[in-house]
A and B are shown apart, each in its own frame.
Chain A
Amino acid sequence: MTSESVRDRWLSIGMSVLLHGSLVALLAIGWWHFRHPAPAPTPPIDATVVDARTLKGVGAASTPTPKLKPAPQTQPQQTVPPPAQPAVGPPPPTPDELAMRQQAAQQEAQHEAEAQKHLLARQQAEQEKQAREEQDAEAKKAAEAKAAAQAKKLAQATKLADAKKKAAAKLAEQKKLAEERKLVEAKKLAAQREAEAARQAEAERRARVADLQQSLREEEQASAASGALASWQSELESRIQQHWIRPPTAQQGIDCILNVSLVSGGDVTGVSLGQCNGDDAVRESIKNAVYAASPLPPPPNNIAYPHQLEIEFKPTN
């Protein structure tokens, strides 16, 4: 494995850790918001709760849900509360009733004041709530934006990771393909090598056979040449012996060397007496033998004509 592939693997692992770490962090934040909501009036919160599953769904990033729609679409539903009290008409007043009504009016005023107070309080609460909601919305929005940003970031990270993963996968694929190609190439190469080796082995076998045949031919030729040479030597010796008129003094014990020069036609062109223990007649006779035998018989075709002969005259009886 190359150092690049190692580096890629570590990068992938790092990206994966970062991605999962981010997810874990988002879940933790979501869980924390879920478990610790901001202090708010009890009225039911008409708000969109973002839960972990949503986040999870975001985390999945494959199927976006409407809950992740932008917050302004949900804002009107939160800002139009239904007017419950004005819709009910009051009965005709009596003294008592009026007192009562007064009282009642007072009470009502009181009540109304209280109600107003309550209303104000409620309005204030609503305003606060609204402010809080707005704040929450803002916070939520911010959180959502943050989440979205985080999601986006996460998505980007994921995308990046995916891209990287894809790249890594692609790289791995490429690597795999390369390896496969390499393997194929290697196999192909091996096959080629094997074929080449087989071819070479066959060539060598044929070369060996050829060499062997050549050696045999050469051996046969050498043997034939050797035999032909020996035969020719014998022929030369016989011819010279037939022309050597041995003088009586050429007895056993005589040993004379005669060097003979030849031309290609076999004609003797010169003789030179080397070591010789014979008398003048012996010396004369061996020279005569060679000259009288001239021209000497030609050698076989496969033997080059020697231009020098060394002839030893050594009678054995």
Chain B
Amino acid sequence: MRPTPRAAALLRTFLAVLTAACFAAPAARAQLKLEITSGVTHPVPIAIVPFAEAPTDGTDVADVIQHDLVGSGRFTELARNRMPATPTNAADVKFQDWKAAGSDYVVVGQVTPTSGGQLALDFNLLNTLTGQSIARQRFVGTVASLRNAAHRASDVIYQAVTGIRGAFATRIAYVAIAGAGADERFQLVIADADGYNQHLILQSRFPLMSPSWSPDGQWLAYVSFESHLSAVYVQRVLTGQRTCVSMRAGINGAPAWSPDSKKLALTLSGDSGHPQIYILDLSTQHLTRLTDTPAINTEATWSPDGRSIYFTSDRAGEPQIYKIGTTPGSAPQRITFTDEYNAGPHLSADGKLMAMTTRDDSGSYRIAVQNLTNGDFRVLTHGRLDQSPSFAPNGASIIYAQRPGQGQAGILATISVDGLTGLSLKPTQGEVRDPAWGPFIQ
């Protein structure tokens, strides 16, 4: 049956009203749905309010925390002269004022003496947008450990905001060269991750090279020429106890700890003159040879699962990075194909990224990162001679050796894995090289 014109008109009107209602209703009552598929990588604005501090050694806890956080590239600070107030307790924080000042977070705290003669550092991380406390913690220690307590506070704040464990309360090891000529001394130094709190654990008139942290943070392996020949030593960090684990004919170099801290990957040349990759079982001294090519194979580093070793080889003419299984007879596999020179690999703790020294078309040596999942290759630094990259244990930053200019002493610097934030460590006297970022401190 055909509808009458009037019925059709009514039907149209009804449908029109229905259609209008369909459009109007969601906006009027129902939830409007949005989808956010991307964001920004801006640093998070944060205000570290000066702590109320008992008399200490002069350590400015808030400044240490701010330096850590801003140096990571993940935060941007609110300058103290722009702070609306200087509260030291959460109860005194007026969120609107801090929000108006542009800070998403505010950190307040105090350092107070304890009855045991120690110091207690209390801090509170507050979200000015939600008006909530995100994290609060107390660290107790000696005056000498106050700076470390501040780094630990930084770790907590960093993780609360970024989701990544902070690596500020970790240590680095590096080789420093002090003096010159007959007074030249090679030093093995351990310092806080920000370059402060340096401790000399070994000094030698002969070159020291390639320090490497054991995954448990108890040992350092390194190469020493103290016997006029290269030899590989392991040294307990706390006690200074050291042992030579390889002093074979030829080259003994580039030690790298296995994830279980029981083995070392070494570069040994033997009598052949061709450096090859070996695995040394520290408990049995048993050597397992992994490579056997008439080329240079060196700078081994372990995959997190301990099943593979990445190393540098010039078997193709120019140094490139290869991967080989840790079981004898495995076939090596080339990993890098970008640029003509890629060397000195180091893997992130999650095994997803590999840092290396790459030489670009201009002849400069720079730090690059390759994604081992998809092969993405990205140069992070812009120096003339950047080398020896080592991942922070959280994989967020890389420390490396930098020689700013011709004839200038080498320094240490960090770069965030996104390449956006670089930071030079506390200047040291003389030359520094071969940095190695230690593991998390348990």
Residues of chain A whose beta carbon lies under 8 Å from any beta carbon of chain B:
204, 207-208, 211-212, 214-215, 218-219, 221-222, 225-226, 229, 233, 236-237, 240-250, 259, 271, 278-282, 284-289, 291-292, 299, 303-304, 306, 308-317
Within 8 A of A (CB), among B129-179: 129-130, 134, 159-164
A78, B159: Cα distance in complex, Å: 165
Q: Which residues of A contact B23 (CB under 8 A)?
A: 222, 225-226, 229
Min CB gap A38→B, angstroms: 89
Smallest Cβ-Cβ distance to A271: which chain B residue:
B130
Smallest Cβ-Cβ distance to A291: which chain B residue:
B129
Q: Which residues of B contact A219 (CB under 8 A)?
A: 16, 19
Pairwise interchain contact B13-A215, C-beta atoms closer than 8 A: yes
Query: Does B200 lie at the interface of the complex (its beta carbon under 8 Å from any beta carbon of A)?
Result: no
Closest 10 CB pairs of A and B: A281-B163, A249-B163, A244-B39, A246-B39, A291-B129, A304-B28, A308-B31, A310-B31, A211-B9, A218-B16
Residues of chain B whose beta carbon lies under 8 Å from any beta carbon of chain A:
5-6, 8-9, 12-13, 16-17, 19-20, 23-24, 26-44, 74, 104, 127, 129-130, 134, 159-164, 396
Pairwise interchain contact A246-B41, C-beta atoms closer than 8 A: yes
Partner of A315, one of B17, B39, B129, B160: B39
Q: Which residues of B contact A237 (CB under 8 A)?
A: 34-36
Smallest Cβ-Cβ distance to B19: which chain A residue:
A222
Smallest Cβ-Cβ distance to A216: which chain B residue:
B16
Q: Can you name 8 extra interface pairs (CB under 8 A) apart from A207-B9, A218-B16, A246-B39?
A: A208-B5, A247-B161, A281-B161, A284-B160, A292-B129, A304-B27, A309-B33, A315-B38
Pairwise interchain contact A306-B20, C-beta atoms closer than 8 A: no
Task: Using A240-B34, A304-B24 as known contacts, say yes or no to A289 and B39 having CB atoms under 8 A apart.
Answer: yes
A249, B164: Cα distance in complex, Å: 7
Pairwise interchain contact A316-B38, C-beta atoms closer than 8 A: yes
| 10 A–B contacts from the bound complex (CB under 8 Å) | A214-B16, A242-B40, A245-B40, A246-B41, A247-B161, A284-B127, A284-B160, A304-B27, A306-B27, A312-B33
Smallest Cβ-Cβ distance to A290: which chain B residue:
B129
Smallest Cβ-Cβ distance to B8: which chain A residue:
A208
Pairwise interchain contact A311-B163, C-beta atoms closer than 8 A: no
Q: Which residues of B contact A288 (CB under 8 A)?
A: 104, 127, 129-130
Pairwise interchain contact A241-B27, C-beta atoms closer than 8 A: no
**Total A-B residue pairs with C-beta atoms closer than 8 Å?**
155
Smallest Cβ-Cβ distance to B105: which chain A residue:
A288
Q: Which residues of B contact A211 (CB under 8 A)?
A: 9, 12-13
Smallest Cβ-Cβ distance to B418: which chain A residue:
A248
Q: Which residues of A contact B161 (CB under 8 A)?
A: 247, 281, 284-285
Partner of B162, one of A249, A309, A315: A249
Pairwise interchain contact A225-B24, C-beta atoms closer than 8 A: yes
Q: Which residues of B contact A286 (CB under 8 A)?
A: 36
Smallest Cβ-Cβ distance to A207: which chain B residue:
B9
A161, B162: Cα distance in complex, Å: 123
A284, B157: Cα distance in complex, Å: 13
Q: Which residues of B contact A243 (CB under 8 A)?
A: 40
Min CB gap B10→A, angstroms: 8
Pairwise interchain contact A287-B36, C-beta atoms closer than 8 A: no
Partner of A233, one of B34, B134, B163, B396: B34
A317, B26: Cα distance in complex, Å: 30
Q: Which residues of B contact A218 (CB under 8 A)?
A: 16-17, 19-20
Pairwise interchain contact B37-A308, C-beta atoms closer than 8 A: no
